[in-house]
Structure 1
């Protein structure tokens, strides 16, 4: 009961900063767009996710939820969701085998629709639970890592149902990826290390939307920022924004704090780690614990001191230098902190909720593949967020609309 009450308070606090999703929950309760549909979700089990699950349940869905990262699971929130009548298969800190067992248990609901964060649930559907595929008519994916996997599946003809790329909306890239990741990454790093960033050298691996947000916040805290990239256009963008761009090989000896934000693997290898200075801090703000090669780091170290601070492990190299790995190489903002602020997730999860309702309505006419969120949903979410903040914007006049539609008008 104590855990349930704690989860209730946690969810209520998050809902205060999520007016758009709360309003959508009220609309869903009246319209019931998901009546009779079973939804299996693999998401971070946090208070903000709970508000999304509440909106979908209000819309008529039967929910089965598994965790997309065992270190981000909030046990009190999981217990509260069970009290709301949802099947929740998640517990903080479980091992890899239990993590995958929980995903299988969520799939046992035999879903009509799926929600994923990193494509693990969709991957299992297409490899180990193929007997369920005929019943799945659509899904949503909300991470860059997951979208990369799904587009590859679609290119190879392996994807068996339509999936909406919620991650690729303009509102999510701007608000969630840039501002949310930028702030919450340093929230996690500060909690784990209590380090001062002013005057330090921060190496940001990856200059996508998330990487830009991390680099901006690091510079705002007074750090010297180095960016590493594999994309020439993004590297040029970073250069023109005033950041120094280096290869990781050249950045490794000078960095004080390394933050990976790529969605790829082996971004920091044993060779890079061997060149780092004593006391260097390694954090991952991407998705999975493969961006930093943690297993190679284990082999490189002569001694590993676990838990020198909460979510901080010290790797002592044979020559006496130490490297500090945060959150076991998992996503630092959700492991060492609480993830994005609820106000950020209000927009991301509102787009997710509307995309699920759109899928429920359109799914029978969609071929397997990866679909963008309809532009009207993106505009609606942004408009609702502005309205909730009391912000008004201009509207086109009739003459302006006619001018934009016409090619005959001169300059």
Structure 2
């Protein structure tokens, strides 16, 4: 099937973006060179659905260097960059994606990368796996396994597995220490505020920021908001995480209370309708809402559109919604992932670690296909550690090693 993209003439711009990523992703570059020699994916078809920007493109090129036939699409209609999609087609990969795809077009693109019958799936949010298990079940026997990039996707996979519906092994890439410790906390923390700041051009210092959810992503968003000079309020459903937020120096309260005082609202929960109609009506004039969770359901956009008496585009990626009480609140990026809908996503050095985990997890699946029995598996500890050791070396840092005496001390009971 031929690629489906906006404009192949945009390739030069996309190639420049990918080159910048290459220069700042030493782990992926090392794997690219290694894979070119060893061809761990020779003869394998890989279907990939990840936010289609330059860092993802370099992952795709790394897997292709390893011998894979790549079928690529995005995992969010507003995060696809058309020049990057063109660059991948220029490099010989099959791509089905464009920025601003309708729901129908987006699903068509997902279907197009699965139709050739993938052996390995690289997913971000679970849409590839979902379609394989609904529309394209006849292709399941050809699947060795897959990797899931994000928390939301893992939630979907765990629900499927609990119900006995997951039919091939999936690696929980997001659970790897070298992924969620850094990608979710430092990557999300920086990229969310990058998207907010470049879109709004407003000061954060002195404002009240409400962060919904205090998982690793929420921790990063709250930490960066504090660093920008904001007063931070956290909303949570988990008492342990709520106590952690308090001890990290943040206020904690229900969303119903936070809605009345917040200037900026950032949802990072992976749940549905975290901010709903009742909350909208309590918000003050000019409140700014955005979402950093994978799907555009954390802010109840359907409910907001239903009650709004008027809408008005204010700036690129900002729409104002006039409420029945006369107040206007603003939503960034249509309630989709603000760091990608309104920015370029996580920094290259962060995704260097996350995508190295992805590439090595895919390699692990292919090499151990006959040994894997569980449907949900974690990233092997030696893969996690290998990425940590090599990343530390690329950063020019060294650490201590245990002496034989110290190892003996730690490993013997002394009884």
Shared fold (TM-score, shorter chain, > 0.5): yes
1:293 aligns with 2:286: no
Contact 2:9–2:86 (CA<8 Å) still a contact in 1? no
User: Which residues of 2 match residues 56-75 of structure 1 at below 5 A?
Assistant: 56-75=63-82
How far has the Cα of 1:25 moved from its partner? 0.8
C-alpha distance in 1, partners of 2:333/2:295? 11
C-alpha distance in 2, partners of 1:237/1:171? 22
User: Which residues of 2 match residues 4-403 of structure 1 at below 5 A?
Assistant: 4-306=11-313, 308-403=314-409
Contact 2:281–2:325 (CA<8 Å) still a contact in 1? no
> 4+ runs of 1 displaced by more than 2 Å?
none
SS at match of 1:191: helix
Give per-residue Cα distances to partners, 1:392-411, cap 9 Å, x unaligned: 111111122222221226xx
Contact 2:235–2:255 (CA<8 Å) still a contact in 1? yes
How far has the Cα of 1:270 moved from its partner? 0.7
Aligned residues: 408
How far has the Cα of 1:2 moved from its partner? 4.3
C-alpha distance in 1, partners of 2:29/2:91? 16
Contact 1:72–1:335 (CA<8 Å) still a contact in 2? yes
C-alpha distance in 2, partners of 1:400/1:380? 23
TM-score, scaled to structure 2: 0.97
Contact 1:260–1:284 (CA<8 Å) still a contact in 2? yes
Question: What runs of 5+ residues in structure 2 fail to find an aligned partner?
Answer: 1-7
Give per-residue Cα distances to partners, 1:102-131, cap 9 Å, x unaligned: 000000120011010000110000011101
C-alpha distance in 2, partners of 1:166/1:376? 14
Cα root mean square deviation, aligned: 0.9
Contact 2:199–2:317 (CA<8 Å) still a contact in 1? yes
1:407 aligns with 2:413: yes
TM-score, scaled to structure 1: 0.98
Question: What runs of 5+ residues in structure 1 fail to find an aligned partner?
Answer: none
